[in-house]
Structure 1
Amino acid sequence: MKELWTNLLQTVGLAWWVEIFTDNPRCTYYFGPFASASEAEAEKAGYIEDLEQEGAQGIKFAVKRCKPDNLTIYEEIADRPSRGGPAPIFSGQV
């Protein structure tokens, strides 16, 4: 019954997820879905511990309602905005 409720919440975008960001590797991970924020909070320590054991660094987290399209998002170096890159098309125009 609990799984059915969680699936319903997920379908309508009201399920709770643990969102974890790491600096190294530069990733965002989603763990869930959960039927309540307290349930997600209770599980987050295990996910963080697993990532630490895998060598992840700079771990930050949030528990929130969302409906992620991807459970793991890797930020490629090429995807990072470069400093001093090309100016916007309209810059300098009056």
Structure 2
Amino acid sequence: MKKTSWDNFKEILTSLFHSFGQAWWVEIATQSPRCTYYFGPFLSSKEAHAAKTGYIEDLEQEGAQGILVNVKRRKPNNLTIFDDMGERIEPNAKPAFSGQM
């Protein structure tokens, strides 16, 4: 699918909002495994809420249980945190913007 000028502008604006900690993120915590995942960034709360269903379905298909979801403005340092091992995964990960708009 070809990106439009609006898509490009929206991607730049989302990146700018993210750099100031004003972008919206979907935070999903699971009890089993004990992990916290961050999906985003999104330009609006509405976009984040619309996307969260797909993330929840993916985690359920992987066998995650006890799923709690929050949508909030933040700037996560790590996209995946494994609480069981006290380990942080993807420390140098950069947010992916394509396919989320």
Q: Which runs of 5+ in 2 are unaligned?
A: 1-8, 88-101
Identity score, percent: 63
Q: Which runs of 5+ in 1 are unaligned?
A: 80-94
Q: Which amino acid aligns with 1:8?
A: L
Larger radius of gyration: 1
Runs of 4+ in 1 over 3 A off after TM superposition: none
**Hey, what's the Cα distance between the residues in 2 that align with 1:12 and 1:65?**
10
Shift, 1:76, TM fit: 2.2
2:62 is matched with: 54
**Hey, what's the Cα distance between the residues in 2 that align with 1:8 and 1:30?**
18
Question: Secondary structure in 2 aligned to 1:76?
Answer: coil
Shift, 1:66, TM fit: 0.3
TM-score normalised per structure 1? 0.81
**Hey, what's the Cα distance between the residues in 1 that align with 2:48 and 2:86?**
33
In the alignment, which of 20, 25, 31 is matched to residue 28 of structure 2? 20
- Superposition RMSD in Å: 1.4
Question: Secondary structure in 2 aligned to 1:49?
Answer: helix
